[in-house]
Amino acid sequence: MPTSNRIFSRAKTRGVLYALLVAAACASGPALALDDVKTPTNATASLEMFKNPIQALRQGIETYRSGDAASSIDALTYAAAGGQPLAQWKLGRMYASGDGVPHDDLKAYNYFLQIVESYDEDTADMRERSVYSSAFVSVGVYALKGIPSAQMAPDPERALEMFKFAAMNFGDPNAQYNLARMYLDGDGIKQDGWQAARWLHLAAEKRHAEAQAILGHLLFTGQAGVVRQRARGLMWLTLARDAATEAKKDEWIIELYDTAIKAANDTDRQVASVYLEGHHKKP
């Protein structure tokens, strides 16, 4: 298998799971607008002590943030059953990663699906915009790969629908990246390098390192029918390399950058530096 194909294969595996497992924008949960709600002082209060789902949500989030993920489950479950999207999202994340609960992709999927199916753009609280967006992306990820342990088959058409909705309605960079990968890989959809580059560019402008790396590689090499722009590609690869903080997870980004910088000539490097300077000056 050619080196670039191996890299893309590894990037794809990490990329489609990115939104579900390492969505940095939601890593600690969206800000809570619950300052007017009083919380019981006992972190292990029984469900009977919750006055309503909002109070249960506050209790669960505060217990989780105190470092006691397992003890937050009852409160979050109560809040989720009461229709609180943030509680549903948090439980989905916890079951997806086995955080305080046994890993269970089907439970995670169902919690994310509750958010998607109850979403109404006319009544949704946009303070929880990131919750809705992340849920659509997560449902898309599960639909794309399926859940073998639950005999849930892959559904690329459903995945495409989820990614498109989050990409277009929320401008979500994870959705834009995953959508680009579907077009680039022809994963249940006709390959389209131009569409892939378009969505990668939108995500790259939002500092999505994986999107920056793949867009840079496509531009530098001219693969997938993308018009070659070596200096522009080197600029994006440099930005991705600078954002690569975890050596093992980001190894493929570093490898793409190293390959390009070795192949670049003096003109490529000089023009890329000019592009970088202009990029950093953007508001």
Q: Each residue of 25-48: pLDDT tens digit?
A: 333 344 333 333 333 334 344 445
* Domain annotation covers residue 214: yes
Q: How many CB atoms lie within 10 A of CB 218?
A: 24
pLDDT tens, residue by residue, 227-259: 999 999 999 999 999 999 877 889 999 999 999
Q: What confidence score (pLDDT) does residue 18 get? A: 41
Q: What confidence score (pLDDT) does residue 216 get? A: 98
- Number of domains the chain is built from: 1
* Domain annotation covers residue 223: yes
- Lowest-pLDDT range of 18-32, 59-73, 193-207: 18-32
Q: How many CB atoms lie within 10 A of CB 278?
A: 10
Tell me which of 280 and 184 has the higher pLDDT: 184
Whole-angstrom distance, CA of residue 145 vs CA of residue 18: 13
* Domain annotation covers residue 229: yes
* Domain annotation covers residue 32: no
Q: Which residues pair with 152 in a beta bridge?
A: 147
The token duo for 200 is 């990668």
* Domain annotation covers residue 264: yes
Q: Provide the sign of the torsion angle of the four alpha carbons 101, 30, 166, 125, taken in this order.
A: positive
Q: How many CB atoms lie within 10 A of CB 107?
A: 17
DSSP per-residue codes, 19-71:
HHH--GGGTT-PPP--TTS---S-TT--GGG-SSHHHHHHHHHHHHHTT-TGG
* Domain annotation covers residue 212: yes
- Residue 65 pLDDT > 50: yes
Q: What confidence score (pLDDT) does residue 9 get? A: 56
The model's confidence at residue 273, banded by pLDDT at 50, 70 and 90, is: very high
Whole-angstrom distance, CA of residue 208 vs CA of residue 218: 16
CA atoms within 13 A on the CB side of 54: 7
Whole-angstrom distance, CA of residue 11 vs CA of residue 22: 14
Query: What is the DSSP secondary structure assignment for residue 203, as one 8-state letter?
Result: H
Report the percent of the chain where pLDDT is more than 90.
75
Mean pLDDT of 150-165: 97
Whole-angstrom distance, CA of residue 146 vs CA of residue 120: 26
**Residue 227 sits in which domain range?**
204-283
- Residue 10 pLDDT > 60: no
Average pLDDT, the chain: 86
* Domain annotation covers residue 64: no
Instruction: Identify which of 81, 71, 70 has the alpha carbon closest to the alpha carbon of residue 46.
Output: 71
Q: Which residues pair with 228 in a beta bridge?
A: none
Asked if residues 221 and 231 have their Cβ atoms less than 8 Å apart, the reply is no
Q: What confidence score (pLDDT) does residue 22 get? A: 35
- Residue 196 pLDDT > 60: yes
- Residue 197 pLDDT > 90: yes
Compute CA 218 distance to the chain's CA centroid, rounded to the nearest angstrom. 21
- Residue 70 pLDDT > 70: yes
State pTM to two decimals.
Answer: 0.83
* Domain annotation covers residue 266: yes
Read off φ and ψ for residue 99, nearest 5 degrees: -95, 100
